[in-house]
Amino acid sequence: MSRIAFIGLGNMGGPMAANLVKAGHALRVFDLSAASMQAASAAGAVVASSAAEAVADAEVVISMLPASRHVEGLYLGADGLMGHIPEGALVIDCSTIAPASARKVAEAAAARGLQMLDAPVSGGTAGAAAGTLTFIVGGQADTLERARPVLQGMGRNIFHVGASGAGQVAKLCNNMALGVIMAATGEALALGVSHGLDPAVLSQMMAVSTGRSWATEVCNPWPGVLENAPSSRGYTGGFGNDLMLKDLGLAAEAAMQSGATIPLGELARNLYAINSRNGHGGLDFSSVVRVVAPDI
Ligand code: NAD
């Protein structure tokens, strides 16, 4: 069992840290939000008064922050963690950030002789709570083998997709496909409803036909079709529209860097931006259906 410093205890980091405590690790945690720290303390973690204090005697450092600037700030900013992490510690960033940022932080870690992985996750808040996340890992294979027992305390599937930054690229590929498919599914259901079709029957048919996807079967965007989907509880408690918008922006940036063309990804990014401008940025991303069906 390891001494783990966990920084960033939000919707994802909070339950991930709690699962590491349950797995028997000693957790020292830090977040800017006092409420998040209280919740982690109740789950059995020791609360630190700063990120630097959290990592002081850590064997493993894990971060789960909103975006690139938070991760670069934490590790590379003034008095950043690269100046505090003990020799030999393993560093794992699970945030979804730009591949270029992940590489930059990993290079700074390597310059200090520290092993680092980018290990963004898929599975959402439900997967974080249940300990069934998928980890999409970039970095060296031997570093992943060192991290594996820790990652297994939070997730079920672990994919090694390449060198530093590759985990972030793969995560963006997955989320770009998801964002496009969700918008397309909402549009298809809205077309059917405009012709008087029952969205539940239409979804059941699509779920056993070639239009099937996670969006029809698990996170259906039409309210009332699936009882447990965010759409049936006012689009709350899922993966936020603005997080999807962030990921599609990162995908567009990554495409420009490599020269790849992503016409559907760019179009989807605009749909989520419109949904955000319409005041739905904090709702689950399946609320993007409201761009074409504003009255639901
Ligand atoms: P969140 O906003 O709920 O949590 C982020 C936490 O980081 C907050 O508690 C915030 O106070 C804290 N924080 C920010 N800067 C900090 C700093 N410098 N030091 C300490 N704490 C700091 O976000 P989330 O939903 O937990 O998502 C975290 C990451 O996981 C994001 O990159 C997101 O894209 C990714 N992700 C989210 C989901 C999801 O379903 N929510 C799914 C997969 C991946």
109 lines ligand 1 (CB under 6 A): no
Cα first-last separation, the chain = 49
Which atom of ligand 1 is the closest one to the Cα of 12? 26
CB within 8 Å of 233: residues ≥ 6 apart:
none
Question: Which band of pLDDT confidence, cut at 50, 70 and 90, is reported for residue 194?
Answer: very high
- Res 200 pLDDT > 90: yes
64 lines ligand 1 (CB under 6 A): yes
Q: What pLDDT score does 285 carry?
A: 98
Report in angstroms the alpha-carbon separations of 283 from 174, 230, 243.
20, 9, 10
13 lines ligand 1 (CB under 6 A): yes
Picking from 57, 13, 10, the residue whose alpha carbon sits closest to that of residue 33 is 10
Q: What pLDDT score does 262 carry?
A: 98
- Res 137 pLDDT > 90: yes
> For the chain, which residues make up each domain, given as ranges?
3-163, 169-291
- Res 124 pLDDT > 90: no
- Res 102 pLDDT > 90: yes
Ligand 1 centroid – CA 35 distance (Å) = 14
Q: What pLDDT score does 149 carry?
A: 97
Question: Which band of pLDDT confidence, cut at 50, 70 and 90, is reported for residue 237?
Answer: confident
Q: How far apart are CA 166 and CA 183, in angstroms?
A: 26
The percentage of the chain sitting over the pLDDT mark of 70, rounded to a whole number, equals 100
Q: What is the pLDDT of residues 258-279, one digit of tens each?
A: 999 999 999 999 999 999 999 9
Q: What pLDDT score does 4 carry?
A: 98
Report the residue among 16, 19, 64 best suited for mutation to probe ligand 1: largest number of ligand atoms under 8 A from its CB.
Answer: 64
- Res 174 pLDDT > 90: yes
CB within 8 Å of 71: residues ≥ 6 apart:
63, 65, 93, 95, 97, 101, 102, 105
22 included as an active-site residue? no
Q: How far apart are CA 216 and CA 232, in angstroms?
A: 13
3-state helix, strand, coil in the chain (%, to 5): 55, 15, 35
Question: Which band of pLDDT confidence, cut at 50, 70 and 90, is reported for residue 74?
Answer: very high
Which atom of ligand 1 is the closest one to the Cα of 9? 9
**What average pLDDT does the structure give for the chain?**
97
Q: What pLDDT score does 125 carry?
A: 86
Question: Which band of pLDDT confidence, cut at 50, 70 and 90, is reported for residue 126?
Answer: confident
Q: How, if at all, do strands 115-118 and 46-47 pair?
A: unpaired
Ligand 1 centroid – CA 199 distance (Å) = 33
Report the residue among 81, 172, 243 best suited for mutation to probe ligand 1: largest number of ligand atoms under 8 A from its CB.
Answer: 243
65 lines ligand 1 (CB under 6 A): yes
Q: Give the pLDDT mean for 130-159.
A: 98
Report the residue among 7, 12, 125, 132 best suited for mutation to probe ligand 1: largest number of ligand atoms under 8 A from its CB.
Answer: 12
Q: How far apart are CA 150 and CA 166, in angstroms?
A: 20
Q: What pLDDT score does 29 carry?
A: 98
124 lines ligand 1 (CB under 6 A): yes
Q: Give the pLDDT mean for 193-207.
A: 98
The percentage of the chain sitting over the pLDDT mark of 90, rounded to a whole number, equals 97
Which atom of ligand 1 is the closest one to the Cα of 120? 44
Q: Give the pLDDT mean for 173-178.
A: 98
CATH number assigned to the domain with residue range 169-291, chosen from the 4 options 3.40.50.10490, 1.10.8.60, 1.10.1040.10, 1.10.1200.10 = 1.10.1040.10
CATH T-level topology, domain 3-163: Rossmann fold (3.40.50)
Q: How far apart are CA 21 and CA 39, in angstroms?
A: 13
Residue 239 is given by DSSP the state S
Give the helix ranges, DSSP H, for 60-114: 68-76, 99-111
Task: State the pTM of this model.
Answer: 0.94
- Res 289 pLDDT > 90: yes
Report in angstroms the alpha-carbon separations of 188 from 103, 195, 245.
39, 11, 21
Q: Residue 219 — φ and ψ, nearest 5°? A: -125, 55
Q: Give the pLDDT mean for 190-206.
A: 98
